[in-house]
């Protein structure tokens, strides 16, 4: 079965048998727009029957000489499209809000850095105070041990030298 490509597109990508006359072919639906209406020519020059080429632009008087082909620039196209699609006042307002937010974030960042520096300074001071306190505590502990040893030595000496008076004093302390 041979089929024409134009008929394939017209009928909806299904090959059509022109010899078939059944009612099922009348139920097929094709696209509502003919693709040839939107087709671009594959090349600007066409050949005549005698083999010579003629320009499709030559029908316009003098237009072939003044016609300059401009290159497509995707950046320019996107810029033009975005500028026509967007409202610049909204963009300006968003930029202002972003700048204000950025300023607030920057100010808070500086404030946090200052607080961090102050906390670091205070921590160093606390470390020094703690080290000094530990040193004082060790000295106090040594002094207490010395006082305890000397007190025990004096108690022992007093008990040996004055046993009666020591016993009376001990009884008096424990009784009250």
Helices (H) and strands (E) in the chain, counts: 5, 2
Residue 71: inside a domain: no
In a domain, 83, yes or no: no
pLDDT score at 39: 53
Q: 109 and 31, same structural domain? A: no
Report pLDDT for 91.
Answer: 81
Asked, for residue 67, whether it belongs to a domain, the answer is no
* Residue 17 resides in a domain: yes
Residue 143 lies in a domain: yes
Give me the pLDDT at residue 90, please: 83
Residues 168 and 93 in one domain: yes
- Residue 53: which H helix or E strand, with range? strand 53-55
Contact indicator for 53, 47 with CB cutoff of 8 Å: yes
Residue 75 lies inside a defined structural domain of this protein: no
For residue 15, the enclosing domain spans 1-36
Shared domain for 25 and 94, answered yes or no, is no
User: What is the predicted pLDDT for the residue at 16?
Assistant: 46
**Residue 23, pLDDT score:** 47
**DSSP category for residue 13:** S
pLDDT, one tens digit for every residue, the chain (176 residues): 555 545 444 444 444 455 544 444 455 666 555 555 555 555 555 555 555 555 444 455 555 555 566 788 999 998 888 878 777 788 889 999 999 999 999 999 999 999 999 999 999 999 999 999 999 999 999 999 999 999 999 999 999 999 999 999 999 998 86
């Amino acid at each position: 079965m041979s089929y024409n490509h134009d008929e394939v597109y017209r009928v909806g990508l299904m090959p059509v048998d022109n010899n078939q006359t059944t009612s099922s072919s009348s139920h097929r639906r094709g696209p509502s727009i003919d693709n040839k209406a939107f087709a671009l020519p594959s090349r600007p020059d066409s050949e005549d029957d005698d083999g010579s080429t003629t320009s499709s632009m030559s029908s316009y008087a003098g237009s072939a000489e003044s016609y300059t082909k401009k290159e497509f620039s995707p950046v320019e196209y996107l810029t033009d499209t975005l500028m026509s699609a967007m409202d610049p006042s909204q963009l300006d307002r968003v930029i202002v809000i972003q700048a204000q937010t950025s300023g607030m974030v920057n100010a808070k960042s500086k404030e946090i850095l200052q607080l961090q520096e102050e906390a670091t300074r205070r921590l160093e001071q606390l470390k020094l105070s703690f080290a000094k306190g530990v040193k004082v505590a060790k000295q106090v502990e040594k002094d207490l041990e010395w006082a305890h040893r000397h007190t025990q030595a004096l108690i022992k000496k007093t008990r040996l030298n004055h046993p009666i008076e020591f016993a009376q004093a001990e009884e008096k302390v424990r009784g009250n």
